[in-house]
Structures are given as C-alpha cells and as structure tokens.
Structure 1
Amino acid sequence: MVNGVVGADTHRRLDPAEFRGFALFGPLAPLVFVNGADTKAAQLFTLVHELAHIWLGRSALSEAAMDSRESETEEQWCNSVAAEVLLPLDDLRSDYGRQMTVEELDRLAKRYKISTLVVLKRIFDAGFLTWDEYTERYRAEHGRVMRLVDDKNGDSGGGNYYRTQPLRLSRQFAKAVISSTREGSTSYREAYQLLGTKKHATFEGLAEELKVA
C-alpha cells in the first residue's frame, strides 16, 4: 500500500520525517505500507527495506537513521539489505567518480534510481569517506532533500482520485473487495468502509478504473 495522507484526507499529510513505512507480517497476507509523501527514490528504498522485515518474519515501523553507527539492530540490517539490493558496492566502486559534489550524487542517484542519501551511505560503506566526513555531508544533504520533499508536497494538487486510491489501498485489495461485493459476499456498507468512500458512484468509479466487471 502507498499513501501520502491519512485515509483520503489531503489536508492531513503523512510526514516522511516521522516515518517512511511499516511492515505487518502474517503467514497468509503480509502487508507493506510505504509513505507516498516521500520522494519516489526514497519510496523504493522503503519498499525493499520493509520486504527485508517480511523476510525476517517480523512486523516493524521503520525509521532507521542512516547516520547512526549502530550496526546490530534489525532496522540497520534492513537498511543494509535495501542499500545492497539497489546499489551493490561492487557497482559503486567502479562507477563512483571520486568527486564529492552534488552533481556526482545526483548522477549516481538518477542512474540507480535511489536517493542521494543512499548514494552517500554507499560511498561511506565503500571506504571513500571517514565517519565524520560522512555524517557532516549526510546531515547537510538530508536537509536539502527534506526541503525538496516539502516543496513537492506543497505544490502538488489533489490528483486523480480513481488512480491514486487503488495505490493507497493496494490494487489487489480494492479489486477483491469490489468483486466480493458484486458477488454478494460483502455488503456495500462494509465495502464503502474498506474502500474509504461513502458514495455508490465513487464505488462504481473505482470498479471502472480497476476494470472489475
């Protein structure tokens, strides 16, 4: 599930500075939630991070700072898994131009579709920065990234409800609820609650968007 607001209330944004995602483990239907108010690159990192929690078989609310030296926590382990999946150290060592500039961070971030913060962490992991150099640059870059996130969320409009709501709920979940309601197994009242709507017209609009007959 991906959502950047509370329910469907566009006036109550989920702050990426507070949390980026969570994982709910279950043997039948484990769930990953990603904060959609974050940058796209950060959302991808969160997705892999939360999947790592699922692989461990545990639920978690995730917000592990990458400027912490704690290496034995589960959060830091999941960070390491996500970082290696998205930017393997072997690739970083061969691709890094040895120039610690914003332009170089942006180049690597765009190439690997990750955030500049993850790029910085991998440069440190590869041994190209000392801990003190890394933390100083990380905190400066973190401030820059969060300002960009705030600007993006401040300028964004409401978007197309019928396209964003299935992402907020998960397309599979929304389709399952609509199909169950059409078959008579779920009441329309329950369906409206599960889908976050109060109108039948909205229910039908979601069904049309998801192509549920």
Structure 2
Amino acid sequence: MSVHVDVAPTLLDWAVGRAGWDEETAQRRFPHLAEWRAGTRRPTVKQLEKFAQATHAPFGQLFLPAPPKEPLPVPDMRTLHDAAISRPSADLLDTIYLCQLRQDWFRDYLLENSMDPVPYVGSATTMDEPAIIAQRMWDVLGISPDAGPLAPNWGSAFSLLSDRIEDSGTLVMVSGVVGSNTRRVLQPEEFRGFTLADDLAPLVFVNGADSKAAQIFTLLHEFAHVWLGGSALSDAVPGATSAPPDEQWCNAVAAEVLMPRETVRTEYIGDQSAEGLDALAQRFTVSTLVVLRRLADLRLITKELYYERYEEEKARVLALLAEAKEQKTGGGSFYNVQPRRLSRQFARAVIASAREGGTSYRDAYKLLGTKKYSTFEQLAERVGIS
C-alpha cells in the first residue's frame, strides 16, 4: 500500500520557486500539484521524492513546517534586482556550494603542502586608480594589450587569460551547467560570475553559458574582486552606474586591462557603425557592448549616442548569440570540457593526492564529478598527468 504524506503548501511553493518554474511548467510536470496545495489530495512518498528530485529540493526539507531561509553565501552585487533574480535559484546555490566544497579541499591541500598565500589577494582597494591596478595585472599575467590583440579570437583569448590567472594562483572554474549535469543549464540573466575570496586558494567562477566575449570581461571583473580580497556574486554589466562601488571599480579595472585608454584613443577612428564596432571588438577581444561603454567613459562618444547605440547593439548581439546557440550541435566531449569546469590546477591536485593516498578515490571521484576509475584516468591524461 502506498504511503501518503502531509506537505505544507508553502513548502511546495518554495520548491517550485527555487526551481525557477512558472505555474504552467509546475502543473505540466506534476498534474496533482494544485490538489496537493489545496490539501484535497496528499502525495505519496514516491511522488514527493520525484518532486524533490525534479525541483532539486532536499527531500527532508519538504517536511519542515515552513520554508528554510537560503541566503546567498556570498555578497550579492548584481544590479538587475528584478523579480526574476530576487530569489537565488537552486542552480545558482548548488553551483556556489560545489565551488565552496572544492575550494575548501584545495585550501587544505595547499596547507598540507606548506604553500604560501597568493600575494595579490587583498592588495588593492577601491581608492586605487584602476589604470595602476591594470598595469599590475598585466605584469602578473604577462600580457600587453596595447601591443595588439591578445589572441586571434575570443575563445583563444579566454583560454590565454584563464590559464595565466590560474598560473598566478587563482582557481578558474568555467561552466554553463551545474556540476556535470547538462540538463541544469545556468542562466546568464541570473548571474555572470562570482568570486570566492581566500588568501591561499582564491577562486573565480565564470558562467560558461554566456557569450565568449562576455566571459572574458567577467573573468577579469572577478579577478579584480580577488585583488580587493572580497567575495562577490556579479552580473558584470560594464558601466552600470547603479552598481555598488566595488562592482564599478572592478568594471573599471577589467575595462582598463582589456582596453587601455591611450591605446583606445589611438585605435579609434570615429567609426560607430556595426562594422567599426566589430573591428574594435576584435582588436581588443571584447564584446561590442564593452567597446561602446569604453568609448563613452573616455568621452570619445557622447552619453546620448552611447545610450542610443547600446540598445541597438544589445539587440544585435542577443540575436547573434541566439543564432549561435541554435546552430550548436552539442556540448563537446566530457574530457575536453571537464578540465575547464573544474580548474586544471584543482583537477591536477585532486588526482595527485588520490594517487599518493592523501585523498580516497571515492572522495576524489566526488570532487572531480566522475564515477569510475577509467574516467578518472582519462581525465588525468587530459590535464597532463601521466
């Protein structure tokens, strides 16, 4: 005989909202949900387990008398505070929790190996001139944007920057899904990245579901948060005037790293057409939206023209991004994607620790998102450990 259970309607609403479902989706997925809410019908244990799994809600929490409070574990510095992001989604929360788990492990690993703190963490304040910090970042990363494009394309530029940031001591994790679950896609509209500050194991996460050009700006924006020494959840909107001071400063640093002001003044020839913006975007390996904002900040175009062109360009970029997503046939090989999701430095450390006996293989599989030894070994080969 099936066992039926009582669930408070507020708990059902909490789980639906946490999953980001609208009412139509909720009723389609669970036709008896309205009856459960009204109390005219009670779910069975099996039905409730299925509901918890579908909404990514902890099963045990559905038996609480009231919804649990789930505050964001990092300061929220997003500027788009509308109804769509007023409550953190299960996907966002689970991504942050997973990164915190991996960061905690990596910090302990570094302590066991007597590693020194990363010198630039907390070395800057918002009182520092962004151009000065940008120069220091160039030195740390070994790049010189004023000498020419960082790379032939945005993908190569992102790989270059993320690898250099990792080499400097900051973990870089990039993913468009929760963990390795390709059915749980992260939404750039909710967040573009976050920073988990730490003097020994700083970590930045970039939403890989965003465009590659946007990911480049987010990466450097979050890296700037590391220099400030504070954790943050960001939407990294260039030039957002309503953003908190830390966000505005990180935007300014990222813009200066990618588009040095004197170089921009030299390269800009007054062409504000789509072709002209594309040329500057390719020159500095940024998005055309960042180009427009930078031109406005340097007073090379008027604010009025900026607002007019920004909306036009935003529509064009979104259309191109939508077209690219439609043409995309797959997410790529697990072994190609997973090292970037994990951070190569982190993956190498976990694999080395497991082989040396410092970490159990069971724990290593959990940290790496793998389930069997053959996958573990192939991942090791992919990150350069023979």
1:144 aligns with 2:316: yes
Q: How does the TM-score come out when normalised to structure 1?
A: 0.93
Report the more deviating stretch, 60-69 or 34-43.
60-69
In the alignment, does 2:365 pair up with 1:188? Answer: no
Residues 182 and 72 (structure 1), Cα distance of their counterparts in 2 relative to 1, 3 Å cut: closer
CA offsets per residue over residues 122-178 of structure 1, 9 Å max, x none? 111121332232122212222222232233233321212112101100001111111
1 CA distance for matches of 2:353 and 2:241? 49
| Maintained 8 Å contact 1:3/1:34 | yes
Tell me the TM-score normalized by structure 2: 0.53
User: C-alpha distance in 1, partners of 2:279/2:188?
Assistant: 23
Q: Which residue among 215, 221, 240 is the counterpart of 1:49?
A: 221
> Between the two proteins, what is the percent identity of the paired residues?
57
Tell me whether 68-77 or 132-141 shows the greater mean CA deviation. 68-77
Which whole-Å CA distance do the structure 2 matches of 1:79 and 1:67 have between them?
A: 7
Q: Which of 90, 101, 104 does residue 273 from structure 2 map onto?
A: 101
| Greater Rg over alpha carbons, structure | 2
Deviation at 1:116, TM superposition (A): 0.5
Report the AA paired with residue 185 of structure 1. Answer: G
SS at 2:335 equivalent: helix
Once the two structures are overlaid, the 10-residue window that deviates more, 88-97 or 147-156, is: 147-156
Q: Which has the higher contact order (CA 8 A, sep 6+)?
A: 1
In the other structure, the counterpart of 2:352 is: 179
Where does the alignment leave 5 or more consecutive residues of structure 2 unmatched? 1-172
SS at match of 1:138: helix
Residue aligned with 1:103, SS: helix
Q: 2:326 aligns with which of 143, 147, 154?
A: 154
Aligned mate of 2:231, from 59, 64, 81:
59
Q: CA RMSD in A?
A: 1.7
Q: How many positions carry a matched residue from both structures? A: 213
Q: 2:8 aligns to what?
A: none
Aligned equivalents of 1:166 and 1:98: distance in 2?
42
Deviation at 1:67, TM superposition (A): 5.3
Gaps of 5+ in 1: none
Is contact 1:67–1:135 with CA below 8 Å preserved after alignment? Answer: no
Please list, as runs of the form range in 1=range in 2, the aligned pairs for 1:1-213 lying within 5 A after superposition: 1-66=173-238, 68-70=240-242, 73-156=245-328, 157-213=330-386
Q: What is the rounded CA distance, in whole Å, between the counterparts of 1:28 and 1:67 in structure 2?
A: 31
CA contact (8 A) 1:67 1:138 kept: no
Q: Alpha-carbon deviations, 1:35-59, whole Å to 9, x = none?
A: 1122222211111111111111100
